[in-house]
Every structure is written in C-alpha cells, then in structure tokens.
Amino acid sequence: MLNSRILSLEEAAASIPDKSVITMGGFGVFLQPMAMVREMIRQGKKDISLLSVGEAYAGDLLIGGGCVKRIALSSFGFEAVTGRARNFCKAVEQGKVEVEDYSHFSMASRLMAGAMGLPFAAVNSLRGSDLLEKIVYEKKFEKMKSPFSGEEVILLPSANPEIAIIQAQRADSEGNIQVFGPTISIEQQAKASKRVIAIVEEIVPRSTIQSTPSATLLPSLFVDTLVVLPYSAHPMSSYGYYDYDLEHIYTYTNASKTPETWKKYLDEYVYGPSDHFDYLKRIGGLRKIMKLRADPLLGY
Amino acid sequence: MTSQTPFYTYDEIMLCVASAQILDREVALIGTGLPMLAATLAKHTHAANAVMIYESGLIDTNPIEVPVSVADPRIMFGTTTFASLYSTLGLLQRGVIDVGFLGGAEVDQFGNMNATAVGDYTHPTLRLPGSGGANDIASLANRVIILMKHEKRRFPIKVSYNTSPGFLNGGNSRKEAGLKGGGPSKLISDLAVMDFEPGSHRMRVRSIHPGITREQIQDSTGFDLLWAEDLNVTTAPTKIQLEIIHQLDPKGIFLKNN
C-alpha cells in the first residue's frame, strides 16, 4: 500500500486484534520488536497465535505477558547467553500454550511459499525425525515424488500470518524499509503476511533511500503501518545503531526464574513505564543509551 | 606445567578438538554455543580460509570478538555477505556445507539428538528451545560434529524426542529414510572423542582425553559403548590455542570455569 500510515506505538498496537495470527521479525539478539511487544502486553492482548522462526525474546516476553495461546515455531532459546527461554518453556510444561515444532529451514520455507503465493513448500530436511512424527494440531506434511525426476520431497503447507511485526533500522515516510545486517526471515515474514507493521529507529529522506536502494528490504507497497521509535529493539541490538544490552538481558532472564520476580519485572519494565521513553529511563537512561550506541566502524 | 602441556580445562580441550574438525577452505555451518568459539579459533589458527556460515544469514564471517548469538553484531562486522536464513540454510539442501556443528540436551547410541522436549511431547517435564537449524544441519550437512557434556542422563539409549536425526536405528536406517547428509561423524565430549562404527553405526570411543579413564566414560554413558581397536589419547590444547581463545573470550562468556 502506498502512502503508508505513520502511527504511534500505542495506535499501531491497538490495531492488532485479540486472537490474531502473527509473526515477528528478528533473530537471536538482533532486531526483535521489543517495544511493540511491551505495548501489546500493556494493552492486554489475548489468545495470539505465533508463527515463529527465531524471535525468541519477543516471543518469550509476549508469552510471559499472558498474550499467547498457540505457537508454531522452530526455536525459542536464548543461546549462549542464558540458555532456555523460561516463560516459553514453563508455558509449554504447564500446558498453557499449544506448541508445534518445525526446523528453521522448514518454517522459513513455509513463509517463503506464503510470500510467493504458493500453497506449499518442498524441503529435504525433517525426514526420520520426530518433527514429522509428533503432530499436534495441523496437517503438518505430505510426501510426494517429483513428477519430473521421481525424487521424493517433503511438502509443507505455506504460512500466511495475519500480521507481521517487523523491526528494522530505518525507512522513509512512505515506508520503504531498510535493514542493515543479515536479513534473517524478515522479507519472507512480511511478504507472507496480510498486514505489515514496521517499527524503525528513524525516518530518513526519500533521497537517502534512493541513494542506497540495495539496503531496501521491503518496498513501501508491503508496509501498512510504520512506527518510528528510537531504541525500540532494546534490549536487542540494531546493527549500526546500538548493541544488545547484556546487563538487561541477564536482568530479564533472572527475573523469569520465578513467578514473583517475573511479576516484578513486568511491573517495572512493562506496566510501570508511562511510555517507551520512560522505559528507557528505567533501563539506565542516557548513560546506558550512550554505552549501547554503536561504534560507527564496528556497527556495535 | 610445561610449555608443551599447559593447564587447560575440559571445556578447552573440547573446544580445541572441535576447532580442528574444520579444515582450511571448508564451508562450515556454525551453531550457537561453543561451536562459535571453536569456529573463531579455527579461523585464527589452522583454517584461515574456511568459510563460516551462520543461519541468521551471514556468510564468511571474520569476527575479532567472540559472539554470544548467531545474530550477534560481532559476527556482522567483517562478514563478506549478508543474506537470509532461507538462503543460508538452503545451502545445506544444495549440498555445499562440508561440516555442521550441533549440540543438544540428549544424544543416543546412534547419534540422534534431542533439543526439543524431555518426557511426553505435549506435556513435557522439560521443554527445550526446539530444533532451530539443528534438524536441517543433521539431515543435510556432509559431516556433522556433535558437542556434548558427557553425563549419563544426556546419553540415554534412546532420545525421548528425535530432533536431529543421526543414524536413526543404526545399520542402514538413515539411508533408507532418505536423509541426504552423511550424518554424525564425530562426537566430542568433555571426556572423550567418539565416532560411529561403520556398519552398525553405534557410538564408539576413538580417543580418551588426558587423565580420563575408560570406566569414567562408560559410567557417564547410558548404554554400552564400543571401543576402537586403536584407541588413543586426545591431543591436548596448545599454548597458542589457549592464548587465542582467551583473547577471543576475555569476559569468560564460554570459558566460565576458569
């Protein structure tokens, strides 16, 4: 859609109905839509279904905020930093969310097929594993012999989420979205989805985009809503803009160990702040922001 | 302590053995955790021309500091190609990945790994992160290197959920299932280096880390291990390797026990 609309974080979150099927951008400690997730929790979203690749922190926070009912995912873990994503793990162990597992490549392939307007994807992974055996709530796959070579492939249904929530570095006011760094699954997630909400660090002139067009991952015709908010991926990184906040990540993961400490975390960093800028004050204010700000040479 | 055999920890010997698995000019797909440090060590020592790939969409990384995540900006700096997850993991399907690294919560006697859930899948006693790229790597990489802490509960006779296929039920079952990659070639633990006996594809000890006994290894394993006829002692890390890994990980993110 041309002339995409710039909304506030609050307005954009308000446009996400309960029970939506959403996918969120980001991967590892990189480009996850954290400010949007905090606002969705503040607004009390319910029964969200996630179609996820590796947006573990955004997913774990949304689950910890009580917003999620179903998850089809390939991985929700915090890697080397702190291991398990505890809100996610506990919700599954306690039967509070339904879960269906894929591999990264098979989930990305489902989104790729969705983005290409095709009904299914064909992959060569998953064979012989329990990813094809333990099936909960979907017709998960079909095997088919290629009509051309006779080679057998695994078919997976395409994925078309209702809403993609994408975190990126910058855009022009039309909503041409530029991403710096690996593009992870952002392009497939956005193009597969019926509606795209993008959150960026800053708006730049159209001429800046025109002089760096190879960094444009999503042309504005795929972007329905644009939110402009600096440090909105915190505590994740935005390559070229700021580093991840390891200190706050540890605060988060320690807090998620017990229901009491988790409630305190939500009160302090999600329900307590009057807005995103108040949140930034609470995580350490200008001093922390200057510390996280990227070295222009290193990008972190 | 002499210059030939400096003091090292079990994590460090695992790391150095893992690093040696990446040969110069190979294409390696690096998973999260210790493999990231092993790959960075390889790049700084014997495998300067190896191409390191991360599933977040990074091809040919050249970091100067060790990353904590496969999407850490520390591996974005100095990389030659930014791509997508679909295109980097797609390289597995194309058959160009020589070696992939895996870790997990459980590994069984045929090298199948669990990174998903312990207990019943829908109501697990312990939920884990899930496959990530692990299933894709296990299915399709030409060689797979497994890194595991050697504990009895982590080495059951059969994994409770098979996230990443090894040799399935042994024998020819992996091939019969249509899996295209070569399967696990080595398992490096903090006690020993193992492989999978040709034919039966059962786990077999190839070398024992210095100071470790056969009994210790068998007692830390939930099934009967095979032992190579030419069983030897694992090569200890060199002083230079140890210096480099501590330069790469000055904050001890991976080398916590030092």
Q: What's the pLDDT at B162? A: 97
Which of B113, B123, B136, B180 to mutate against chain A (most A CBs within 10 Å)? B136
Mutate to test the interface with A, among B59, B72, B172 (most CBs of A within 10 A): B72
Span A7-33, mean pLDDT? 97
For chain B, what is the mean pLDDT? 93
**pLDDT tens readout for residues B160-210:** 999 999 999 999 999 999 999 999 999 999 999 999 999 999 999 999 999
Catalytic residues of B: 55
Distance from CA of B25 to the nearest CA of A (A): 23
Mean pLDDT of B59-82: 92
Q: Can you tell me whether residue B79 is helix, strand or coil? A: coil
Q: Does A29 sit within 8 Å of B72, measured CB to CB? A: yes
Cα atoms in the 13 Å half-sphere on the side-chain side of A17: 5
Neighbour tally for B194: CB within 10 Å: 29
Segment B5-31 mean pLDDT: 92
pLDDT digits (tens, 9 = 90+) for A214-263: 999 999 999 999 999 999 999 999 999 999 999 999 999 999 999 999 99
Domains and CATH numbers, chain A: 5-102+160-292 (3.40.1080.10)
Distance CA B41, CA B64 (A): 10
pLDDT of amino acid A134: 85
**B196, B169 contact by CB (below 8 A):** no
Q: Is A273 on the interface with B (CB under 8 A)?
A: no
A92 touches chain B (CB under 8 A): yes
DSSP assignment string, B164-188: B-SSTTSTTHHHHTT--S--EEEEE
| Rounded average pLDDT over A2-22 | 90
Contact B69 A243 (CB under 8 A): no
Q: What is the mean pLDDT of residues A2-31?
A: 92
Task: Spell out the residues 6+ positions from residue B251 whose beta carbon is closer than 8 angstroms to its own.
Answer: none
Beta bridge partners of A123: A154
Q: Which distant-in-sequence residues (6+ apart) come within 8 Å of A153 by Cβ? A: A122, A123, A124, A143, A144, A145, A146
Do the Cβ atoms of A169 and A91 come closer than 8 Å? Answer: no
Q: What residues does A238 pair with on adjacent strands?
A: A242
Topology, domain B10-248: Glutaconate Coenzyme A-transferase (3.40.1080)
Residue ranges of B 89-128 with Cβ closer than 8 A to chain A: 89-90, 92-93, 116-117, 121-128
Cβ distance B89 to A182 less than 8 Å, yes or no, reads no
Taking contacts as CB-CB distances below 8 angstroms, the residues of chain A near B250 are none
pLDDT score of A169 more than 70? yes
Domain boundaries of chain B, sorted by first residue: 10-248
Cβ within 8 Å of B, A 36-75: 53-54, 56, 73-75
Residue in A26, A85, A300 nearest the CB of B74: A300
